[in-house]
Structure 1
Amino acid sequence: MRGGLTKALRKAALVLALPALLVTAWWAATAGSTNFFWPPLADIAGVFGETWFTGRFTGDVLPSLARLLAGYLAALTLGVTLGVAIGSSRTLRALVEPVLEFFRAIPAPVLVPILMLFAGIGNGMKVLVIVSGCVWPVLLNTVEGVRGLDEVLRDTARCYRLGSRSRLVHLVLRGASPQIAAGARQALSIGIILMVISEMFAAGNGVGFTIIQFQRSFAIPQMWTGIILLGLIGIALSLVFRVVERRALGWYTGLRESHRTES
């Protein structure tokens, strides 16, 4: 019991060491700052709570998270569905690969003016911007995961005459799930970036919109609190993703740990 607690404390100290060092360095470097655009961290921390945990939390933060969640889940669904179909068919893969490479090379922020023309300036446009950027890592990782499935497992599934649904769930999706999870993790960070970018264009609320308003009104400490808030949101979402990934891929992590133990 004591050994496990000590190990957990050591791990927590190792994880928190670098962030604590960076915050301390920032605090010390700006302690006596008179630069208008580089205020002391103490001033930024002092206005953080009143800036975001009053009306702006429900008026800006929650709408941003709702758009991010909607776009991210739509990108996951679309990416996995298309990725399984493309990865399972050589003909389809050869047919669509040039098109996929073309659209993947187009940065999602460039599509914002085009999406505004077709989807307007409401929440639909912002969700589409998030989908347009998040879908690619999920799609491409799913394709590679399906392509890399063991042929022996495929032959075994055929020999046992597993139905198409059973093969999809227990062979294809399960076998490709580690790479799907890798693509989903990449898509999450891209989604946060695109959430902010989409809210900087013709928006009326959201974290990105509020940060731009602070910048335009020269409320620099408040602007910095928005940047810090985005980092904290990224950390929180990453922790949630890690918990979900650990539960969903428990069989895979256990298999890897057993192989390490044997070697």
Structure 2
Amino acid sequence: MNLLSVTRRTAFAVGLPIVLFAGWFVLSDSSESFYAPPLRDILSSFGETWTADRIGADVVPSLLRLAVGYFLAAVIGIAMGVAIGMNRNLRATVEPVLEFFRAIPPPVLVPVIMLFAGIGDGMKVIVIVFGCIWPILLNTVEGVRAVDSVVLDTARAYGVTGPARIGRVILPSAGPQIAAGLRQALSIAIILMVISEMFAASNGLGFTIVQFQRSFAIPEMWSGIILLGLLGFVLSLLFRLAERRALRWYEGLRAAQRQS
């Protein structure tokens, strides 16, 4: 039964994109629009456009900026979230400030960040960090606050304090909530990676898509958008695999609750 459920979910996950692409291919086959070319033209330009050289020059730098920004946001967000979630007075003090900065759309700050960080890779990483840190931070705070007091008292009774208390009790208990914040931040990171590369950049996936648009290379522009979607799908799949591995105990608990 479990294998059947996994097979069914996999079939739906793979089948829907195939159906959508097939529909796009059929419906666009007779298109004569310059801005919406047939999918067959886009696919034929895909292999010619995204060669190994272009991937190395544009896609790899984008993924490196994404990885650095996402990693920094995860480290800072989780560390600050644990500190704020464990301290009621600190949480009451900083909560209004956190809500203020969270409400600011990160793309709006790109020109401001450019003034201080320039137009290099540092600016793009800072934009990704600023946008990704809030879902991670706020979900970590809520996860730490939701840790069962009985679990904390038991750990204290057994002498589990300090860093061991955080690493063995608080972080595992808050893990599902932290994972939810990391999942939200991943999609935000991909969006900000592209947006940051549209401002005064010389390479990157976002920069290349904009250059295709400005030079009216429309099939190539659409091929870049498809490549961006494929990268997002692969990164989401890798995150799900890592999440299931890290939260095996939680998935087992949920399965046991469903059976009962």
TM-score by length of 1: 0.96
Distance change >3 Å, CA 10–CA 259, structure 1 → 2 = closer
Please tell me whether residue 128 in structure 1 is matched to residue 126 in structure 2. yes
How many Å apart are 1:9 and its aligned residue? 4.7
**Cross-structure match for 2:74:** 76
Q: How many residues align?
A: 260
Letter in structure 2 aligned against 1:210:
T
Q: SS of the counterpart of 1:213?
A: helix
Q: Per-residue displacement from partner, 1:104-134 (whole Å, max 9, x unpaired)?
A: 0000001100110000000000000000000
Q: Per-residue displacement from partner, 1:126-166 (whole Å, max 9, x unpaired)?
A: 00000000000000000000000101111111111113121
- After the TM superposition, which residues 78-227 of structure 1 pair with which residues of structure 2 at under 5 Å, given as runs? 78-227=76-225
Supply the RMSD in Å over aligned alpha carbons: 1.3
Letter in structure 1 aligned against 2:225:
I
Q: Per-residue displacement from partner, 1:54-108 (whole Å, max 9, x unpaired)?
A: 3110000000000000000000000000000000000000000000000000000
- Partners of 1:67 and 1:59 lie apart in 2 by 13
Distance change >3 Å, CA 238–CA 155, structure 1 → 2 = same
How many Å apart are 1:53 and its aligned residue? 2.4
Percent of paired sites with the same residue:
61
TM-score by length of 2: 0.97
- Partners of 1:213 and 1:139 lie apart in 2 by 35
- Partners of 1:147 and 1:204 lie apart in 2 by 44
How many Å apart are 1:8 and its aligned residue? 5.4
Q: Per-residue displacement from partner, 1:156-215 (whole Å, max 9, x unpaired)?
A: 111111131210011111110100000000000000000000000000000000000000
- Partners of 1:204 and 1:252 lie apart in 2 by 44
- Partners of 2:44 and 2:230 lie apart in 1 by 17
- Partners of 1:250 and 1:179 lie apart in 2 by 14
How many Å apart are 1:258 and its aligned residue? 1.0
- From 39, 62, 81, the equivalent of 2:37 is 39
- Partners of 2:251 and 2:92 lie apart in 1 by 33
- From 19, 24, 29, the equivalent of 2:27 is 29
- After the TM superposition, which residues 39-58 of structure 1 pair with which residues of structure 2 at under 5 Å, given as runs? 39-58=37-56
**Cross-structure match for 2:18:** 20
- Partners of 2:101 and 2:255 lie apart in 1 by 38
Q: SS of the counterpart of 1:67?
A: helix
- Partners of 1:238 and 1:232 lie apart in 2 by 10
Question: Quick check: 73-82 or 251-260, which moved more?
Answer: 251-260
User: Where does structure 2 lack aligned partners over 5 or more consecutive residues?
Assistant: none
- Partners of 1:129 and 1:6 lie apart in 2 by 43
